[in-house]
């Protein structure tokens, strides 16, 4: 059971991190200098969030919950990992998921003029800040899940 959970966790990690990295890459490669490109970029970002990022996040959270509640793993690395996943999930569902369709609509509304609106630029700046706030928790979550270090009082055992 534990090996299967580790495998599912890895699939979730690939989907989640891969989706995030694809958001960064398409933004860098295509940017959004004009309304049409911005619209294309944000349709892609919204679609990949629903296909890769959110299902990957769900797999990771589900595996952690099964480890904790069903298998009784109470190690501090898992508690820390779950804390990081909570932060990442709140950021995803409170900020980023509602922002994606909003950005698509703002980009679409900019198509007739051919230039992105200031409102679109302001929202993308917010999206980037929220995304950047995920970096440290994501790295910590990956390190804790990969290396499963003994933390705090566990080190003395």
pLDDT at 130 > cutoff 80:
yes
Burial class of 59 by CB neighbour count within 10 A (0 to 12, 13 to 18, 19+): buried
Half-sphere exposure in the Cβ direction for 28 (13 Å, CA): 6
Q: Which residues contact 60 (CB under 8 A, 6 or more apart)?
A: 9, 12, 13, 16, 85
pLDDT of residue 31: 82
* Predicted structure pTM score: 0.93
Q: Render pLDDT for 35-45 as a digit per residue (tens, 0 to 9).
A: 999 999 999 99
Share of the chain above pLDDT 90, in %: 94
**What is the chain's mean pLDDT, rounded?**
96
Q: What pLDDT does residue 156 have?
A: 83
Backbone phi, psi, residue 103, to 5°: -65, -35
At 143 the three-state DSSP class reads helix
Which tens digit of pLDDT belongs to each residue from 49-83?
999 999 999 999 999 999 999 999 999 999 999 99
């Amino acid at each position: 059971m534990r090996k299967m959970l580790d495998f599912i966790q890895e699939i979730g990690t690939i989907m989640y991190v891969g989706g995030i990295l694809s958001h960064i890459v398409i933004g860098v490669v295509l940017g959004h200098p004009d309304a049409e490109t911005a619209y294309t970029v944000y349709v892609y970002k919204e679609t990949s969030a629903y296909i890769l990022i959110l299902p990957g996040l769900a797999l990771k959270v589900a595996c952690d919950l099964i480890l904790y509640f069903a298998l009784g793993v109470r190690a501090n690395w898992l508690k820390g990992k779950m804390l990081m996943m909570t932060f990442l999930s709140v950021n995803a569902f409170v900020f980023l998921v509602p922002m994606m369709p909003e950005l698509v609509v703002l980009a679409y509304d900019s198509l007739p003029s051919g230039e992105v609106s200031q409102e679109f630029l302001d929202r993308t700046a917010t999206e980037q800040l929220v995304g950047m706030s995920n970096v440290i928790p994501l790295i910590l979550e990956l390190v804790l899940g990969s290396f499963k270090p003994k933390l705090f009082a566990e080190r003395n055992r």
